[in-house]
């Protein structure tokens, strides 16, 4: 019991130290890391034969969702990093699990640069996004919301195929 208490105190002290200088950006990055892990695990978990699965004809397939999230990651994070998205059209050009899963991972590697470079001091720096000037932290938070929106879609697709979503594993 004593070891558990010491471990919890140590973990809490580490978290406080990490967030003390940049609590806003550290919190946003923590949520991003959760989304990144859940989305990449969901993409890896869905079998190849279900990448074309659509619950109804008028919605995206699972694979299209993966491609859409990758495209959006590039769009959001390029606004923060500067310049145009280095990759576009993943949703419409890739169909295999291997290609889509790798494209998603690559998009997160690109976004890591935006999140890793974020500090609270830079959080209010305006960038052009959707035709408006927005604070950098707002763009990154918007990306997190978008990632979780589509992770929710993926959870439904996984459940319809009898699979436990990554965020529910181990419960």
Q: Which residues contact 61 (CB under 8 A, 6 or more apart)?
A: 51, 52, 53, 54
Question: Does 110 reside within a domain?
Answer: yes
Dig out the tokens for 5 from the structure.
Answer: 């208490």
- 46 and 62 in contact (C-beta within 8 Å)? yes
Q: Collapse the DSSP code of 128 into the 3-class scheme (helix H, G, I; strand E, B; otherwise coil) and give the result.
A: strand
What secondary structure does DSSP assign to 8-68, as a single string? HHHHHHHHHHHHHS-HHHHHHHHHHHHHHHHHHHHHHHS-GGGTT--SSTTS--HHHHHHH
In a domain, 118, yes or no: yes
Task: Please report, for residues 18, 85, 123, 155, the alpha-carbon distance to residue 111 in angstroms, rounded to integers and kept in the order given.
Answer: 20, 11, 16, 22
CATH number at residue 75: 1.20.120.450
The pLDDT of residue 7 is above 70: no
pLDDT at 143: 98
| Residue 106 within any structural domain of the chain | yes
Let me know: does 52 contact 61? Beta carbons within 8 Å.
yes
Determine the Cα–Cα distance for residues 118 and 116; give it in Å rounded to an integer. 6
Mean pLDDT of the 138-157 span: 98
pLDDT higher than 70, residue 123: yes
User: Locate tokens 């990448």: which residue?
Assistant: 51
Confidence of residue 19 (pLDDT cuts 50, 70, 90): low
Nearest partner of 73 among 87, 61, 59, 63, judged by Cα = 87
Domain that holds residue 139: 22-34+59-163
Task: Count up the domains in the chain and report the number.
Answer: 1
- Looking at residue 9, what is its pLDDT? 53
Q: Is residue 68 part of a domain?
A: yes
Asked if residue 15 is part of any domain, the answer here is no
Tell me the pLDDT of the chain averaged across its residues.
91
Instruction: Say if 108 falls within a structural domain.
Output: yes
Q: Is the pLDDT assigned to residue 43 strictly greater than 60?
A: yes
Question: Does any domain span residue 74?
Answer: yes
Tell whether 64 is covered by a domain.
yes
pLDDT number for residue 21: 86
Residues across the chain: 171
């Amino acid at each position: 019991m004593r070891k558990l208490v010491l471990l919890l105190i140590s973990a809490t002290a580490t978290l406080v130290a990490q967030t003390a200088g940049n609590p806003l950006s550290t919190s946003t990055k923590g949520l991003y890391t959760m989304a990144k892990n859940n989305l990449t695990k969901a993409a890896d978990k869905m079998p190849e034969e279900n990448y074309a699965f659509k619950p109804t004809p008028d919605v995206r397939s699972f694979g299209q969702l993966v491609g859409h999230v990758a495209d959006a990651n590039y769009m959001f994070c390029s606004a923060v990093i500067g310049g145009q998205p280095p990759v576009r059209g993943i949703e419409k050009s890739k169909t295999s699990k291997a290609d889509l899963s790798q494209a998603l991972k690559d998009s997160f590697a690109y976004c890591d640069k935006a999140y890793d470079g974020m500090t609270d001091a830079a959080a209010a720096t305006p960038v052009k996004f959707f035709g408006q000037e927005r604070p950098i932290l707002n763009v990154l938070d918007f990306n997190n919301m978008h990632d979780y929106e589509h992770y929710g879609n993926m959870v439904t697709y996984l459940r319809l195929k009898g699979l436990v979503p990554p965020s529910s594993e181990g419960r």
